[in-house]
Structure 1
Amino acid sequence: MSNAPLFSLDPASFAADPYPILARMRHEAPIAYVPELDATLLTRRDDIHREEKRIEVFSSRQPDGLMTRLMGENMMRKDGADHQAERRALFPALSPRTVAQHWAPVFEASARRILADLAPRGSCDLVTDYAMPVSASALIAITGLAEMSCTEMDRVSQHMIDGCANYTGDAGVEARCHAATALIDSHIDRAFASPAPMSALAVQQEAGLPMDSLRANIKLVISGGQNEPRDAIAGIAWALLTHPDQLQRIRRGQNSWQEAFAEYARWISPIGMSPRIVAREDQVGAVRFDPGDRVFLMFSSAGRDEAHFDRPEDFDITRDTAAAIPFGAGPHFCAGAAAARCLITQVALPLLFESLPGLRLTGPVPFRGWAFRGPTAMPVAW
């Protein structure tokens, strides 16, 4: 087992707000074993950026890991040639060109329809009434699971990521995750005979992927493609509404929606970490790792590393975010990054502020989570 120093934390406090604890870890124990999570956490940006790429040591393949046991062995839980083969099979559905030419008009049509229904109401919960259906509609199109409702998509994604972060072994969380994956499989079965063109289902079929890989990768796309864009859309809107001077910079053309997204993903990472398993004995600095050790690469901590970011706890869309790694930095760089950027920065945010004049917060906006983090409610009016 790793000889990393011990760092104990309260899981409830960590879920409520991980950033003060991560700041302490960067300062006191940047590589530390946390018994409550049964994992060794890497919290400094340079360590994460370097070690993530050493897949021969810090492997993504985790046959006994939560994601594999609950969702199947998807491409994110494979390394080397196996990972690249499945990534290439999925790429035609998620490439920047496909996103720009095929998906962007679909995203815009859905967002405009949702906003047209919302506008007469004068108020809503921006998480559940806008960010959720915008994200879900996009994901239904990309996956090809055309009969799934937005509510179903949001629910199965949440229950899967809850399952993948269920390090305390809650039986109810695991049961909900199993129900979610069964529902997804039923939708895959219904759509399999005539998948929508360019969908993740269609391109994997065309590539001839085995059915278990196809199913697992669809679940991966859902687990990484619903909650994170949903949370980023609502979270960025909240950040700009609570920093009106920065919203005005975007409206005046001094900064872009893309810069707001990049800064928000640095500041409050929708995906806070990536798990790895140590494949062979190795050492990082003075810390030794043994085969089988569980390691968490804390992307959320990397985004607030004082060695790279001045005033890292502040939201500032004018800063240089090049050192941030919210999508990862190695061979497992998020395959859906182009789709997420398009949906959030070209469609969801500009249309939101264009369509609902006078948009304002009307109540508190609670956040929760450390492995995945986002607002749980966002009351607004316009």
Structure 2
Amino acid sequence: MSNAPHFDIDVPAFWADPYPALARMRREAPIAFVPQLGSTVFTRRDDIFTQEKRIDVFSSHQPAGLMNTLMGHNMMRKDGDAHMKERAAMFPSVSPRTVRDTWIRQFQAHADRILDELAPRGRTDLAKAFALPLSAECLKDITGLTNIRFQDMDAWSQAMIDGIANYSGDKAVEARCHAATAGIDAAIDDMVPVVKKHPNSSILSVLLAAAQPMESVRANIKLAISGGQNEPRDAISGTVWALLTHPDQLALVRAGKAKWLDVFEEYARWIAPIGMSPRRVARHWSYGGVDFEPEDRVFFMFGSANRDEACFARPDDFDITRDTQKSIAFGAGPHYCAGAFASRAMVADVALPSIFKRLNGLRLDHSEPVRIGGWAFRGLLNLPVMWDGAQHS
């Protein structure tokens, strides 16, 4: 049992809004054992930034962890050379050069097509009608699974996310996750001969070209889907909502005083779409007055780190002019998100400028409240909007 101070949370309240409890932890017990999560939780940014890199202590290798048992042993759950080897094999598909030379054109084509269909309507749920299909269509291209529907991509991603956060052992959640991984395996099987005959820049194609074992190919494509759908999906709808509820910030972009990338980086700090990363304690370690024993479970709370008062002035404010260099929305150590370049391009270079260019007078539709939830993964559940007209692309 951890000797960290215990900190109790109300789980439904924490899901609805984790930030008040996290702020109390940063003040009172920055490294705390949370019984309701069965984990020791790190909440301060600098502690997470330094300790995430101690892979000899806080290991990503979690053989009995939910991600391994449900999705296969992917590179996120490996450390050292094993991690770097698989990361290097995948890199050609998500490198800045590939994003610039290949993916961004395809991202823009998807956005234009979706907006062509949406623009005449005058109102929609932008989370479901734009952010979800755009993220999924882009991810189909990146993974190489162009043989599936965007609805399947989103549903499978959500099922895996729910599965790997299923710490209470809900059998229905586990069953949905198994169904999703079986669907992905079938889609991979269908596409293997296609990309072998016609190689491309997709993850499936580059991993096969690198002669990765098939079990590794499957596990890493599932990893890409589990994080690569929800993070940009939630960032797109979240950044639009943030700008519509902070018109002064939108005015800065329209006046050329801030870039769309500034909006994306600040939103990812303010409401980190991936709010937590789990680790397994590999050996005895003492830090911050807390003793860690082998097989203890640790959660690095990125969402808390990005609102750490020691690093960010007025951290609860959405301010696109702030310096976000200390943000760790994409992680801090060797497991820094491999898809960060693609995500930035999708949101900042394509989605945001396209939406605000095409949908005149875009504003919230107050007939339905905006709902937001989650702490391990956090994002808008809906985004009802309306607009006056449309500009042609």
The C-alpha deviation readout for 1:167-226, integer Å capped at 9, x for no partner, is: 111111111111111100010000011125010000000001111110000000001100
- Asked if the contact 2:31/2:42 (under 8 Å) is kept, the reply is yes
Deviation at 1:251, TM superposition (A): 0.8
The residue that corresponds to 2:352 in the other structure is 349
Report 1:41-120 matches (<5 A). 41-120=41-120
Instruction: Please give the alpha-carbon distance, in whole angstroms, between the structure 2 residues aligned to 1:250 and 1:171.
Output: 47
Alpha-carbon separation, structure 2, partners of 1:380 and 1:285: 46
Paired residue for 2:301? 298
Q: In the alignment, which of 259, 262, 266 is matched to residue 259 of structure 1?
A: 262
In structure 2, distance between residues paired with 1:57 and 1:50 = 12
Moved more, 263-272 or 164-173: 164-173
2:193 is paired with a residue whose SS is: coil
Report the equivalent of 2:208: 205
Q: Output one character per residue of 1:318-349: Cα deviation in whole Å (capped at 9) or x when no partner.
A: 11111110001100000000000000000011
How far 1:10 sits from its partner (Å)? 1.4
Query: Deviation of residue 244 (structure 1)?
Result: 0.6
* Residue type of the alignment partner of 1:59: S
Cα distance in 1, alignment partners of residues 312 and 145 from structure 2: 41
Normalised by the length of structure 2, the TM-score is 0.96
Q: Which moved more, 1:163-172 or 1:350-359?
A: 163-172
Q: Give, in angstroms, the shift of residue 147 of structure 1.
A: 1.0
CA contact (8 A) 2:40 2:299 kept: yes
Q: How many angstroms apart in 2 are the aligned matches of 1:120 and 1:263?
A: 31
**CA contact 2:278–2:299 (8 Å) conserved in 1:** yes
SS in 1 for 2:33: strand
* Counterpart in the other structure of 2:391: none
> Number of aligned pairs?
382
Paired AA for residue 373 in structure 2: R
SS in 2 for 1:192: helix
* Separation in 2, partners of 1:146, 1:305: 41
For 2:2 and 2:60, the matched residues in 1 are separated by: 18
Identity in percent: 61
Q: Structure 2 CA distance, aligned partners of 1:14 and 1:185?
A: 34
1:168-247 correspondence to structure 2 within 5 Å: 168-195=168-195, 197-247=200-250
Bigger CA drift: 114-123 or 2-11? 2-11
Q: Which runs of 4+ in 1 moved over 3 A?
A: none
Gaps of 5+ in 2: 388-393
**Alignment partner, residue 340 of structure 1:** 343
Offset of residue 13 of structure 1:
0.9
How far is 1:60 from its partner? 0.2
Q: Deviations over 1:283-302 (max 9, x none)?
A: 11210000000000000000
Q: Which residue of 2 aligns with 1:331?
A: 334
Is the contact made by 2:31 and 2:288 (CA closer than 8 Å) also made in structure 1?
no
Name the structure 2 match of 1:314. Answer: 317
Aligned partner of 1:338: which letter?
Answer: F
Distance 1:81 1:74 in 2: 13
1:125 alignment counterpart = 125
Kindly provide the amino acid, as one letter, of the partner of residue 334 in structure 2.
P
Deviation at residue 18 of structure 1 after TM alignment: 0.5
Structure 1: give runs of 5+ residues left out of the alignment: none
Aligned counterpart, 1:152? 152
TM-score by structure 1 length? Answer: 0.99
CA distance in 2, matches of 1:265, 1:283: 31
SS of residue paired to 1:275: strand
CA distance in 1, matches of 2:268, 2:127: 17
2:291 maps to 1:285: no
Alignment partner, residue 372 of structure 1 = 377
Per the TM alignment, residue 110 of structure 1 is displaced from its structure 2 partner at its CA by: 0.5
Amino acid at match of 2:38: D
